[in-house]
Chains A and B, each alone.
Chain A
Amino acid sequence: MAAKADRQQKKDGLGATISRGVRGFGHAVSSFFKEIGAAFSQGDWRTRTSFIIMGFGCFTRKQFVKGLIYFAVEVLFILYMVFFGAHYLQDIGTLGTNLFDREWDEANQIWINIPGDNSMLILLYSVLSIFLCIFFLVIYFSNIRAAWQAQQMQTAGKKLPNFKKSLLGLLDEKLHVTLLTPPAIGVLMFTVLPVVFMICLAFTNFDRNHQPPGHLFTWVGLDNFKDIFGGNQLKSYTFFSLLLWTVIWAIFSTFINYFLGMLIALMINKKGIKLKGLWRTLFVVSIAVPAFVTLLLMRNMLQDAGTINVLLQDVLGWTDAPIHFLTDGTLARITVIIVNYWIGIPYSIIITSGILMNIPADLYESARIDGAGPWKQFTRITTPYMLFITTPYLITQFIQNFNNFNAIYFLTAGGPQTLAYYQAGSTDLLVTWLYKLTVQWQDYNLASTIGILVFVICAVISLATFNLTASAKREETFQ
Chain B
Amino acid sequence: MKNSIKARRRFGNGVVYVVLAALGLLWISPIVYLVISSFRAEKGSFLDGYIMPRGYTLDNYVRLFTDTDQFNYPRWFLNTFVVAVCSCIISTLFVLMVAYALSRLRFKMRRPIMNIALVLGMFPGFMSMIAIYHLLKVINLDKTLVALVLVYSAGAGLTYYITKGFFDTIPKAMDEAAILDGATRFQVFWKITIPMSKPIITYTVLTTFMAPWLDYIMASVIMKDNYQNYTIALGMYRMLERESIYEWYTAFCAGAVIVGIPIAILFIVMQRYYVEGVTGGSVKG
Contacts and interface: CB of A to CB of B under 8 A. Distances in A.
Interface string B240-266: 100000000100110010011001100
Interface stretch (A21-29, A92-100, A376-384): A21-29
Nearest to B169: A3
A45 interface: no
B214 A351 contact: no
Contacts of B131: 124, 193-195, 197-198, 201
B193 to A, nearest CB: 12
B275 A351 contact: yes
B264 A194 contact: no
Contacts of B158: 187, 191
B124 to A, nearest CB: 5
Contact of A358 (B20, B101, B280, B283): B283
Nearest to B249: A300
Contact of B123 (A25, A184, A189, A195): A195
B30 A187 contact: no
Interface stretch (B41-49, B55-63, B64-72, B194-202): B41-49
Counting chain A CB atoms within 10 Å of each CB, the highest count among B125, B130, B252 belongs to B130
A449 to B, nearest CB: 11
A301 B9 CA distance: 39
B27 A346 contact: yes
Interface in B147-190: 150-151, 153-158, 168, 172, 184-187, 189
Nearest to A396: B278
Contacts of A3: 168
A296 B97 contact: no
A451 B126 CA distance: 9
A32 B125 CA distance: 34
A219 B168 CA distance: 47
A18 interface: yes
Nearest to A309: B46
Given A191-B158, A300-B45, A431-B124, A350 B275 contact: yes
Interface residues of B, number: 101
Given A182-B97, A183-B97, A444-B130, A294 B30 contact: yes
Interface of B: 9, 13, 16-17, 19-20, 23-24, 26-28, 30-31, 33-34, 45-51, 94, 97-98, 100-101, 103-105, 107-115, 118-120, 122-132, 134-135, 138, 150-151, 153-158, 168, 172, 184-187, 189, 213-214, 216-217, 220-221, 233, 236-237, 240, 249, 252-253, 256, 259-260, 263-264, 267-268, 271, 274-275, 278-280, 282-285
Those 10 A-B pairs whose CB atoms lie nearest each other, nearest first: A354-B285, A183-B157, A194-B128, A288-B264, A186-B154, A194-B131, A451-B127, A190-B154, A171-B186, A282-B24
Interface of A: 2-3, 6, 14, 17-18, 20-21, 24-25, 28, 120-121, 124, 168, 171-173, 175-176, 178-180, 182-184, 186-187, 189-195, 197-198, 201, 264, 267-268, 270, 272-273, 279, 282-294, 296-298, 300-301, 303, 305-307, 310-311, 314-315, 342, 346, 350-351, 353-355, 357-358, 389-390, 392-393, 396, 399, 403, 405-406, 409-410, 431, 434-435, 438-439, 444, 447-448, 451, 454-455, 458-459, 462
